[in-house]
Structure 1
Amino acid sequence: MEKFRLAVDLYRKYRSALGCGLATLLTVGGESVFSNAVFQCPCNKTWNQTYGLMFLLVPTLVLFILGYLVRTRTWRLLTNCCKQGCYHESCNACLQSSKCFWQLSCSVASLPLTWMAMALLEGTYYVCAGSGIRKIAQPLCSAIADNDTKKLENCINLMPRVPCKESDLLSEMQTFPKVLKAQSQVLGWSLIAVVIICLMIGAIASQCCSPVGFRQLNFWKIYMKQEEENFKKEAKEHAAELAKQNVKCFFMPPSDAKNTSIPYTPSLDNWKEISSLYTFPDEKYYSLLHKCANKTNFENKS
């Protein structure tokens, strides 16, 4: 039992890191499955570039958007922002929101960049896309053409078939897949290096610009976590009690009811009143049932 409690405590303590690690592993595994099982380069002049870039960039964009959607901070920043606006007295709040959005974007970018880096290190997508881009193909073909224009054009025309390693390619072109893969891996390692350097600079800058000391900053993080947990607990209990009172009030018979021994059933108008769509237009009420219960309670008192 003690070991189980220890495991639970460790999970609670490091669940954020475990979640990030699991998401990263799933991203790496998904990229590997896509590149080996799903991706099939068409080896066509028209489609190579588009097909390769789609597999390289679209999953990156999807992961980036999903990263925003699943984070609570996104909705905390966006909720009611259109009504609040950026007035003169709230410029500081807008500045803080912009800072939070930048921090959120940096956090969201981890999985998309992981996909991009792994895809470039794998090289499959880049080899396919690069073979269909003339600006990438021309330097490779120029190296084997020896100023022969006809041979250069022939090489560029055959370039889209390089990923499929067809037998009718020029003998000098057999090494092109390796060259393209090497270019892809150089880009991948460069991306990783740039990201790590940016992370290091960002971490150092945020610590240097912190308005409080190290221990106070740690205390603030612990406090915010505890505050959120206690707020959820108290909010759940309060919401349950309020909902119970409102439902009880809705089914409460009116003060002028003649026979109170029979359970009261609300009228058809009352049922219609709580069955409409509610868009939260009134800050006093959280639902139509809440509004109806308060009106009924007021009428009974009067």
Structure 2
Amino acid sequence: MDKFKVVLDIANKQSNLGFGLVALLTAGGEQIFSSVVFKCPCNDMNFIYGLVFLLVPALALLLLGYILSKKMWKLLTGLCQRRREPRRIATTVVVLLQISAGAVVAPSSWMAVALLNGNYYVCAMTGTNVSAYNKHVCGDVSVRAKCEAELYRLPCGKVNEVPADARDDVMLTLRAHSQILGWLLISSIMVFNLLLTCVARCRSPISYLQLKFWRVYAEEEANLMNQYTTKHAKELAERNLKSFFSQKEPEDIVTPPNEAWESVSSLYRFSTRDHYYSTLHRYVENCQHTETDLVRMSSVDSRGPSGQPAILNFVDGGTMPV
């Protein structure tokens, strides 16, 4: 029950419900992983084994956070083909920081719960070869030499020459160190998150209610974009299959050109001069198609020099994780 309360506390400290859910699942997974998979070897591999279980899953979760971030791929897609202007580079760095702020939720939750639990830290620190630290941990002068010699075996309780009371004191000391580091990590993350949020809100060009409306609009636009793209792709695929099997001229279906897709695919930064809420909103408000544009946009006339449909070859037949 106490461990479950710790998981809930970390989840509740997240300012976003999605981040809280990620933290909750990660922390719960760590508890299961620690009790089922982790077994301290109690030999000279203690230090490496404990650090691997503490840090490597956190690194994997961090990389997974980047991989599953749609904003990450929206930013990087075609980035190498664009001009490297100083302003664009600065914007890219800011967006990467925003993505990183979301990506560190899962790894920080893993490390925080792992440190509060203490198993990984205790196993790792009983395998250190730093004599000063070992003397500090063992503490009692009467059994210090025996404790230092058999320190790596303490997590398994296989030490006969060290009294049980002395062993318990060492284990409590190491667990206390781990929990102190865990709470320091949680408090540091929360302070950093608070400062970052305060700075972002302080520099916001719009009011609180307008910012709330912007978020609702962005979510609705993303949901409708998925529905419209699925529907349009299905209609285009059906048109092409009917034309292929019946060997007839295909019907006209208007599809946005590459320039339009590029315009609405970039990340958008709100400007008080325009009052647009997305790149799609800005494109629709400013785009006035002439009759020539509509002809050029139709899929029948969207053909390359060789007469083949102008498609994205790297998408055709490929898969994307996000």
TM-score, normalised with respect to structure 2:
0.67
Do the aligned residues in 2 keep the contact of 1:50 with 1:129 (CA within 8 Å)?
Answer: yes
Q: Distance in 2 between matches of 1:173 and 1:231?
A: 62
- Summarize deviations over 1:75-123 as a string: whole Å, max 9, x none: 111211222252x3xx322222221111111111111111101100011
In the alignment, what sits opposite 2:263? none
1:32-71 correspondence runs (5 A): 32-44=31-43, 46-71=44-69
- Summarize deviations over 1:5-33 as a string: whole Å, max 9, x none: xxxxxxxxxxx966544433322222112
- 1:36: how far off? 1.7
The alignment status of 1:202 with 2:235, answered yes or no, reads no
The alignment status of 1:241 with 2:235, answered yes or no, reads yes
Letter in 2 for 1:66: L
Do the aligned residues in 2 keep the contact of 1:162 with 1:169 (CA within 8 Å)?
Answer: no
Secondary structure of 2:140's partner?
helix
- 1:42: how far off? 0.9
Q: Distance in 2 between matches of 1:134 and 1:196?
A: 34
RMSD: 2.7
- 1:284: how far off? 2.2
- 1:161: how far off? 0.9
Aligned equivalent of 1:285, options 293, 307, 311 = 311
Aligned equivalent of 1:92, options 73, 81, 87 = 87
Do the aligned residues in 2 keep the contact of 1:27 with 1:115 (CA within 8 Å)?
Answer: yes
In the alignment, what sits opposite 2:128? 133
In the alignment, what sits opposite 2:156? 164
In the alignment, what sits opposite 1:9? none
The alignment status of 1:144 with 2:140, answered yes or no, reads yes
Are residues 195 and 18 of structure 1, via their aligned partners in 2, closer, same or farther at CA, if it must alter by over 3 Å? closer
Q: Distance in 1 between matches of 2:227 and 2:182?
A: 45
- 1:163: how far off? 0.9
Do the aligned residues in 1 keep the contact of 2:146 with 2:162 (CA within 8 Å)?
Answer: no
Where does the alignment leave 5 or more consecutive residues of structure 1 unmatched? 1-15, 256-281, 291-302
Q: Which has the larger radius of gyration?
A: 1
Q: Distance in 1 between matches of 2:162 and 2:310?
A: 77
- 1:50: how far off? 0.7
Where does the alignment leave 5 or more consecutive residues of structure 2 unmatched? 1-14, 250-307, 317-322
Q: Distance in 1 between matches of 2:22 and 2:309?
A: 38
Q: Which structure has greater helix proportion?
A: 1
The alignment status of 1:73 with 2:79, answered yes or no, reads no
Secondary structure of 1:166's partner?
coil
TM-score, normalised with respect to structure 1:
0.71
Do the aligned residues in 1 keep the contact of 2:150 with 2:159 (CA within 8 Å)?
Answer: no
Q: Distance in 1 between matches of 2:242 and 2:17?
A: 44
